[in-house]
């Protein structure tokens, strides 16, 4: 009978099983939280990378248009609008920062002096551009020509109302200056 009771004593008690399940549960919770944080940080860094790529592309396009343009006109009352005549393409081009979006419009025309009404502006990038973004034009001695255009954009990594992360309050400022060629 002693041998049978020894066989019955082999194994785990209910208390041991419950303690091991509790320890295992704590380990799984910690691992899952760590995994969740890694995935969240990965998504955030991918979004920031995408925003930066979009912004670089937009700045390249804007730079090309500004370099090849004449009659660059800022809106005197608003530093968030700039229009110009692109000589290489034979069209009026405009950029606008409106409703926290960088927008673009163009209109084919032979009239180099009238680029005021371009119609509807469409978004260039999907990134959220803050109200601190602006266009700054430094004129040459001939006040009808622009010598240098500075584009200063401030971006937020995620659109408001997105993930609720504290990083939504962080911003990135990108600024570039472009010399114009003023072809006539």
Ranges of each domain in the chain: 14-179
Q: Which residues contact 66 (CB under 8 A, 6 or more apart)?
A: 72, 84, 149, 178, 180
Beta carbons within 10 angstroms of residue 172's beta carbon: 15
Would the pLDDT of 146 be above 60?
Answer: no
The model's pTM is 0.69
68-126 pLDDT tens trace: 887 777 766 667 888 888 888 889 999 988 888 889 999 988 887 788 788 899 988 87
Q: Which residues contact 15 (CB under 8 A, 6 or more apart)?
A: none
Q: Is residue 138 within 8 Å of 150, Cβ to Cβ?
A: yes
Backbone angles phi, psi at 163, to 5 degrees: -90, -15
């Amino acid at each position: 009978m002693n041998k049978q009771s020894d066989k019955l004593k082999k194994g785990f008690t209910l208390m041991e099983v419950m303690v091991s399940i509790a320890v295992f549960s704590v380990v799984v919770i910690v691992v899952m939280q760590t995994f969740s944080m890694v995935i969240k940080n990965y998504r955030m860094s991918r979004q920031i990378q995408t925003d930066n790529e979009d912004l670089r592309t937009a700045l390249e396009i804007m730079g090309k248009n500004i370099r090849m343009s004449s009659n660059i006109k800022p809106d005197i009352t608003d530093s968030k609008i700039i229009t110009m005549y692109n000589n290489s393409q034979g069209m009026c081009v405009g950029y606008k920062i409106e409703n926290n979006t960088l927008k673009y419009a163009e209109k084919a025309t032979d009239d180099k002096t009238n680029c005021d009404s371009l119609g509807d502006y469409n978004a260039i990038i999907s990134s959220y551009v803050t109200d601190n973004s602006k266009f700054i034009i430094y004129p040459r001695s001939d006040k009808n020509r622009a010598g240098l255009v500075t584009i200063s954009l401030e971006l937020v990594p995620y659109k408001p109302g997105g993930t609720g992360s504290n990083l939504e309050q962080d911003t990135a400022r990108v600024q570039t200056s472009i010399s114009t060629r003023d072809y006539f």
